[in-house]
Structure 1
Amino acid sequence: MRLIIIFLFTIQFSYSQIYEVGIAVGGSNFIGDVGNTSFIAPNELLNGIILKWNRSPRHSYRLSILSSKISADDSNSKDPRRLERGLLFKNNLFEISSGMEFTFFDFNLHEAGLKYTPYIFTGIVYTKFDKLGYQNNNISSLGGRTKSLGIPFILGFKYRVLEQLILSAEIGSRYVFSDNIDGSLSNTENYTNFGNINNRDWYVFSLINLSYTFGRKPCYCNY
């Protein structure tokens, strides 16, 4: 009997929270050993989904699945050495990230009235991308895919446009524990490493997310 009561309580609790399912679109740009080093300079499209569990009015658990092409061209750089070198590359990137989102103001969706707040997000990123290598002043595919972990640093702003629709915009950089998204550190026979091998790659996602919220009014607990 006790197990049944616990089970029913668990079901009720799990359905009493606010969840969000959103569609994200935007742009991406690369920061590394090739191309422009500007922090925000999207040059490829991205898309994906973002899921949230609003655990309290001030924090949410979040999972996102995003994909994008990543490219860079030395001709877009302001560095004369890169302009003279003239390298370029394209890659296909897929990421899954999870972590916690914190809002600056209370964002209780069960209260009437205007709701908006800036927010920050961090956690961990799993990134998968094509293997590239550098040879004879050219970056080319080596075939296959490789993967890396990373850390996201995201700043955003969200606003409730309708009772169950949330519109958010964010800019997020990803520090990746790899230096080979651009093929600069392939460590492959007959291929040459280039650039600063002591630095790791970064990429930036700038996106807009429209999410639908659902769930009963929660009883927020102390965790």
Structure 2
Amino acid sequence: MNKITLILFLFLFGFAAKSQTLEVGGFVGGSYYIGDINPVYHFQQTSVAYGIVARYNLNSRWTVKLNGYKGELKGDDLITRYLPDRSLEFTTELYEIAGIFEFNFLPYFTGSIKNFFTPYIFGGAAFISARPQIGNSDLRDFGTEGQFNSFYIDETRSKYSYFNFAIPFGIGIKYSFSKRVSTSLEWGLRKTFTDYLDDISTTYYLPANQIGPGDDDYGDLVRSDPNANHLPMQQRGYSKYDDWYSFAGLTITYKINLTNRNKCSEFQEKY
């Protein structure tokens, strides 16, 4: 996490160095996941999310935004009831660094008397870190689908990466409260390129009766695959579709003039 934080601040520093005015602030809201445990229901098992934001308005319609968000993704078969007999669950701590373009449907300037409100859409690219866990244990270490484990029949599955890319997109509304303070409310989805935000993708590899009390982290191991009736090669997930996640919430930013005020900024405040 320290490396991710350092990268984020380097991005924001470089961003600020080339901007005449910059909006910086914070985000607070919720995060949730769509995948093998919850394939349908948005906002189910939503957890608290937060982060930092830097915005640069290219003009009245286009905005460039950099954000660093932290959220938690959860899934539980006994809650979603999609496949309750499978009884799988997970919790994933997720970090996101994203570069995003926003398009305002109406002319908008922070501090404007006239152009102080607009709905908008956004899209961009993100780098994410996601580590699915059960209890205090990383699910990847268990090799729940035979990753790097001799029990798996063809020994070809490799462990998945904690680091991946995502495509964020969504909708929102902006409102300027004063000459310097702006707020936005948005909902965004993230299409990822991994099916392992939840540690579930393909098939079982190990009969349940081979999980014994003598194994390390036995309690978490049993929770990771609690169905005592599964067999090797029995379907565990659906690998055809990758996982998704979402951030939704409120952003408040403060406009900073990095150079002396100019006629352009005075014009924006009047109109």
CA distance in 1, matches of 2:205, 2:132: 13
Runs of 4+, deviation exceeding 4 Å: 186-193, 217-220
Q: Are 1:197 and 2:213 counterparts?
A: no
CA distance in 2, matches of 1:93, 1:22: 20
* Structure-to-structure mapping, 1:65-80, within 5 angstroms: 65-79=68-82
- Give yes or no for contact 2:202–2:238 (8 Å, CA) kept in 1: no
CA distance in 1, matches of 2:262, 2:101: 21
Report which of the two has the higher share of strand: 1
CA distance in 2, matches of 1:186, 1:18: 49
The 1:98–1:14 alpha-carbon spacing in structure 2 relative to 1, beyond 3 Å, is closer
- Partner in structure 1 of residue 60 of structure 2: 57
* Structure-to-structure mapping, 1:116-135, within 5 angstroms: 116-130=117-131
- Partner in structure 2 of residue 4 of structure 1: none
The 1:40–1:107 alpha-carbon spacing in structure 2 relative to 1, beyond 3 Å, is same
CA distance in 2, matches of 1:197, 1:58: 39
- Partner in structure 1 of residue 180 of structure 2: 164
- Equivalent residues, number: 200
- Partner in structure 2 of residue 212 of structure 1: 254
For 1:205, the aligned partner's letter is F
- Give yes or no for contact 2:184–2:251 (8 Å, CA) kept in 1: yes
CA RMSD of aligned residues (A): 3.0
- Give yes or no for contact 2:129–2:164 (8 Å, CA) kept in 1: yes
Q: Deviation of residue 25 (structure 1)?
A: 0.6
Structure 1 unaligned segments of length 5 or more: list them: 1-12, 134-138
- Partner in structure 1 of residue 198 of structure 2: 182
- Give yes or no for contact 1:132–1:186 (8 Å, CA) kept in 2: no
Report which of the two has the higher share of helix: 2
CA distance in 1, matches of 2:106, 2:255: 18
After alignment, is 53-62 or 70-79 more displaced? 70-79
Identity %: 27
What CA deviation, in whole Å up to 9, does each residue of 1:64-98 have, x standing for no partner?
0001111111122253xx12222111011001010
Q: Deviation of residue 129 (structure 1)?
A: 1.2
- Partner in structure 2 of residue 44 of structure 1: 47
- Give yes or no for contact 2:112–2:176 (8 Å, CA) kept in 1: no
SS of the residue aligned with 2:139?
Answer: strand
The 1:100–1:90 alpha-carbon spacing in structure 2 relative to 1, beyond 3 Å, is same
CA distance in 1, matches of 2:123, 2:29: 19
- Give yes or no for contact 1:65–1:95 (8 Å, CA) kept in 2: yes
Q: Deviation of residue 163 (structure 1)?
A: 1.8
TM-score (norm 1): 0.79
Task: Find the partner of 2:171 among 124, 149, 155.
Answer: 155
